[in-house]
Structures are given as C-alpha cells and as structure tokens.
Structure 1
Amino acid sequence: MNRVISVMLALWLPLSAMAETVTLAPVDLTDWKSVFGQVEARDRLPARARLGGTLVDLTVKEGDEVKAGALLGRIVDEKLAFQISAYDAQRASLDAQLANAEAELKRGEDLLARGVTTAQRLDALRTQVDVLKGQIEAVAAQRQVVEQQAAEGDVLAPADGRVLDVPVAKGAVVMAGEEVVLLGGGGIFLRLAIPERHAAALHEGATLPIETPEGEVQGTLERIYPLIENGRVLADVAVQGLSGRFVDARVLVRLPMAARPALAVPRAALITRAGVDFVAVETAAGLALRTVLPGEPQVIGGVESVEVLSGLQPGDRIRTDGATAAAEITAAEGAGHD
C-alpha cells in the first residue's frame, strides 16, 4: 500500500507545482439583451418611369446585379410616333415652300438687275424666305422634343445595386413617375428597433456581437436616431462583410445593457462530480472542494470563464486547473485513509 501511495504522490506533486492559484476579486460583468436586427440596404433607389405608356420590355428580375445607367426596361407611348410623323409632314411642306420662295427670290434678283422689278418687292421675297427658314427650325426643335420624350421611355438604373423588387410586369400600362424597379445599393447594414426603456444604455461606437448564418461577427453601433416611434428607438449597426443576399432578413444582435460586479472563475477550474459543481479552494487546512452554483459563461480577458452565483467569496484562493486539483485531493484522501 505504501508503494501505491508513493506512486500517487509522485504523479500529483509535479502537477500541483504547475497548477496556478488565483485570489478571487469582483470583476465587472456586462448584462446582455438579445434583439433582432434587420438587414437593410443603405440606399433604396426606385427606378421610375419618366414617360407614361406601355411597358414593352423588362430586362431584369429580382436578385439581379446591375450597374448605374443599365437599361432595365422600355416604355412606349404610341402617340409620340404619330406626333413625329406629323412634324415630318410639316417639315416636308415647309421645305417645298422654301424651295419655291428661294426660286422666287432668285428670279426677283435677276429682274432687279435688269430694272424690271423694285427693291421693295425683292425685300418681301427675302422676308418670306427667312420666315420659312424660321418655321422649319421651329418644327425641327419640336420634333427633337418629342424624340427626347420617346427616349425617356428607357428605364435606367440610378446606381449600382441589386434588384430588390419589380412591382410591374411586361405589358403593363404605367404612369410617369411610377416605380418600375426597386434597387438596393450603397452597402448593407443592420437596423435595430429597441424598446425605449433601454435607450439610455445605448452608446454610439459600442461593439456588438452578431449571430449570422456564417457564424458570430462583430458590429459597431454607428447611429442612434433621436426620434422614438411606437415606443422604440431606431439604431444602425455597421457590420464588416455582412451578406446582402437577403435584404430584410433578421439576425440576432446582443446589446450591452449594464455592468455589475460579480465573481467569476476560469471554466477549467470547475470540477463536476455526480452532477454537482465544485471549485478547489486553498484553506488553512489544505486544499478543499467547495460546492458552487455556476451562472452564465463569460469571456474575461480572453479567457473562457463562468460566473459563480454562490459558494465563493472575495479573497478565496482557488486553483484554476480543476483536473489537477481534483487529482491532488484524491491522492491526499488516499494517503489519509492509509
């Protein structure tokens, strides 16, 4: 038996020398509240119809990525084609009148050179030519206006982004100013709606843990809106690398509410036996196990820790390596029984 005890002591004495002992002192722990944040596009830009008419072409669908100025659809107003034809007819008539007036002016100049006609008659012919040229220019300008109106039937992307919604279908009749395509661009952020009783705990620049389908990431609270709507405060959270595949998707965000003093031990210090948790405490009589009630896990100084709700008090000296401490206590108990 003495040989067995000697072997056990030889095993735990080196471990005991390596074990770290710390003195418990209160630390500030943060209470967190979980809320849902909604993925939002920074800019929601509607591509609107600039012309009333029939949507004869629609080149995009929900989810498509587009560049600024890209053609999204085309609207046609058939009346514009008739107006252009009418201006073309007016132009042809005026061109014929101008050709005749210029011929009359040429004959008048020849007659004046021979002294057959008067200078007054020649001035009237010149005036008639100038009037017809002005009318032709006016008709050309009016035709350009109608051509510009027809060109405004092209629905263009106002910015780079993703197509979020297409509320109309090909063949629909749309009015000027009506939304044809809704784009989301300018990046992605999270929009929070927080109960107003927690507004005082919010601070711009705070780092918030966010649970996404890809894993937990960190976000920064970048804006808190001063207007409270329906008992809720709106806030924006910037998240690096947040996926914008699903706009308006909801993700879980944890908000720091308050800080309070508490006792915490490293997770490795816990010893679990028969469903009961213990911590090894150094006392005047030696190393002893003390029953504790653990709380929520915490990360303190980069170390995985557990809050201790009861069983310990400030000033207690505990072993941070529960497995080593348990082996030491077991060996000591075996030696005592012998």
Structure 2
Amino acid sequence: MRLSALALSACLAASPVAAIAAQPPAAFTVATGLIADQKAVFATVESAHVVPARTRLGGTIVALSVRDGDAVTAGQTIAIVADSAMAQQLQSLDASIAGLRAQLAQANIDLTRAQRLIGSGAIARSTLDQAQTAQNVATSSLKSQIAARNALAEQIANGAVLAPVSGRVLHRPVTQGSVVVGGDTIATIAEQDYVLRLEVPEYHSSIMHVGDLVRIDNASPTPVFGKITLVYPQIQNGDVEADATAPGLGDYFVGQRIQVWISAGQRPGLVIPASYIESRFGLDYVELQTPGGQPTAIPVQRGAPQPSPSMPDGVEILSGLQPGNVLIAPAAP
C-alpha cells in the first residue's frame, strides 16, 4: 500500500512527546520537506519553582521526617517545632480553667439558693444581686481562659512545618534538636514541574521561538522531543536563556547538564526512514519501484540523521533520490 507524501515540516508542529517507532509500511513516497539544521547545546535541568518550607514558630525541632532527595506532597508534615515554655503555659491555663469551672459551679449553686430564699424574704435583694454578679463574673472568666488556651493551642499547632508544594527536597539545612526562630528554612523543595534551562548564543535569538522543538540527546534508541515554552527577553554574557519542557525530566537530577539539539534554521531536503536503507559492502542502497513494477536497487548517499516525532528514524538523503520516487521496504531477513 502506498502512503501519501510526508512533509518534514510537520515535525515542527507535532506535540513534544516521545515518538514510538513503528514497523515501516510497504512503500514510501519521497517528498521534499523542510529540514531543521540542528545545533547541539547544553541545558540544565531546573525546577520551575524552588520553594522554602519555613517554620512559623520559634523553638526546638523535636521531629524531622525528610532527608535530601525525598519526595513530598503539598501539606505533608515534614517537621515539628516545639517550645517548652508554651507547653508550661498550656498546663497553667488548663489548671486555671479547672479552677474557674469549680468557681462557676459554686456561683451557680449560690445563685440558685439566693433565688429560692428571696421569695420568702430570708435575704435582701442585694444578696441576690451579688450572687448574680458572681455567676456572671465566673462565666466570663472561664470563657476568657478557654479562648486564651485555644489561641495558645493554635500557636503550638503552628509548630508543624508543612510542605508548601509537591516535589522533591533539595536541601535540609537543619537536624533534629536544632533551635530555630520563626521564618527559618527547614527544607528547600523543588516543585515537580522540571524544565530544561537552555543557554544559546546570542546570534540564535532571532531564529529561536516559543513552540520550537528540541531533541534530548540520550542513550534511548527512541528520540525524546521537547518544546520551547519561554524565551527570556534578556541577553547575558552573549547568551540568551530559554526554557523547554519534555517528558521524563523527573528522572534527572536538578542541576544536571544534558545535551539537547535545537533548530538553527530550515532548508529544503529529502528525508526517508532509515529502515528503507540497506548497507552492502560499504554502500547504502534503497529499493526503488519502477514503472514496470519491478524493484530496482539504487545507491544513495546518506546524510545526517534527522529524527522527528513523525519519523523517529529519519535520515537525510544527499543524492540518489528525487521527489516522487516510491521506495519499497526491504524484505525482513
């Protein structure tokens, strides 16, 4: 079955996902397309956001549950800071509340007795007023102490240091038992959305745009592609910086340098799948379908690899083929 002509320019609009090589079709029609001249540059794996997890309470770290490199989720408790003075204040308030509860209970008893005796004229009206006032004072004092205890308990609860975002712990500058004050950093967390930070020579700034594809140079037989998402509008030391996203960046270390290939311009050319090329005695051949229907082996000059999301094993052909030629897939050995 013949396939329609493949335009290499489609690779620039394809989504930046790792393409999966498929079995070659029975025939392939050669067509002229745009080839991206590629340039190798180094990129650094960076976190889009590095967020510190800070303590809201001064005291001593009594529990620490993360180490460098640990994965955390947003809201996870990574440390607990305690202040012994606050614990003593809490115990004092508990004792005070217990005393006020007893005082309120006695005031209620006195008020009930006064209300019963006032009807028979056994006590003066002022005695009832005093009992009522004592009951109101005891109620207000108890509410005040309970509110103070709740405020102190909330302040103690602030000793729990929570992870602000989901990601990986880059650095933990403290240990269990360390004394900290409010605002100290307990851990530095890199958010999970890693990016590739590229540094490209200044003369490439005019041909590098958001949405351009980049290819990660790795040991995988299947090429991995990413896409430029941001070009910084500032040039430093003759370089322009850009961010790119790609699948699988979470498997790298933050700060790791990897080689990527970026587009440095476009030119017309012929690209075919490498699976259509056979090497015999140091020469490269393709099976060309002739008008008579009989395949003919013709030599070709192979150029540089030109992988793309639509053609992971693409290779440029410098000579030997013309647009419109129909290639036949070589027979499986």
Same fold (TM over 0.5): yes
Distance in 2 separating the partners of 1:169 and 1:251: 33
Q: How does 1:85-104 map to 2 (within 5 A)?
A: 85-104=91-110
Q: How does 1:1-338 map to 2 (within 5 A)?
A: 30-214=36-220, 216-260=223-267, 297-299=304-306, 304-305=315-316
Q: CA deviation at 1:143?
A: 0.6
Structure of greater Rg = 1
Distance in 2 separating the partners of 1:111 and 1:61: 71
Distance in 1 separating the partners of 2:87 and 2:279: 84
SS at match of 1:131: helix
Instruction: Spell out structure 1 runs of 4+ moving beyond 4 A.
Output: 26-29, 260-273, 300-303
Q: CA deviation at 1:230?
A: 4.8
Contact 1:264/1:307 (<8 A) preserved: no
In structure 2, relative to structure 1, the CA distance for the partners of 1:209 and 1:177 (3 Å cut) is same
What corresponds to 1:12 in structure 2? none
TM, length-normalised to structure 2: 0.69
Contact 2:168/2:192 (<8 A) preserved: no
In structure 2, relative to structure 1, the CA distance for the partners of 1:109 and 1:39 (3 Å cut) is same
SS at match of 1:212: coil
Distance in 1 separating the partners of 2:169 and 2:61: 18
Which one has the bigger helix percentage?
1
SS at match of 1:114: coil
Contact 2:48/2:194 (<8 A) preserved: yes
Contact 1:204/1:221 (<8 A) preserved: yes
SS at match of 2:137: helix
SS at match of 2:199: strand
Distance in 2 separating the partners of 1:187 and 1:130: 59
Q: CA deviation at 1:296?
A: 6.4
Distance in 2 separating the partners of 1:121 and 1:153: 49
What corresponds to 2:296 in structure 1? none
In structure 2, relative to structure 1, the CA distance for the partners of 1:249 and 1:263 (3 Å cut) is same
Distance in 1 separating the partners of 2:47 and 2:181: 27
Distance in 2 separating the partners of 1:148 and 1:85: 14
Contact 1:59/1:73 (<8 A) preserved: yes
Q: CA deviation at 1:271?
A: 11
In structure 2, relative to structure 1, the CA distance for the partners of 1:148 and 1:32 (3 Å cut) is same
Contact 1:265/1:307 (<8 A) preserved: no
In structure 2, relative to structure 1, the CA distance for the partners of 1:194 and 1:304 (3 Å cut) is closer
What corresponds to 2:4 in structure 1? none
Contact 1:49/1:178 (<8 A) preserved: yes
When the two structures are aligned, how many residues end up with a matched partner? 276
Task: Map Cα deviations across residues 93-135 of structure 1 (whole Å, 9 max, x no partner).
Answer: 3234323323332332233122122334312321221121111
Aligned CA RMSD, in angstroms, stands at 3.9
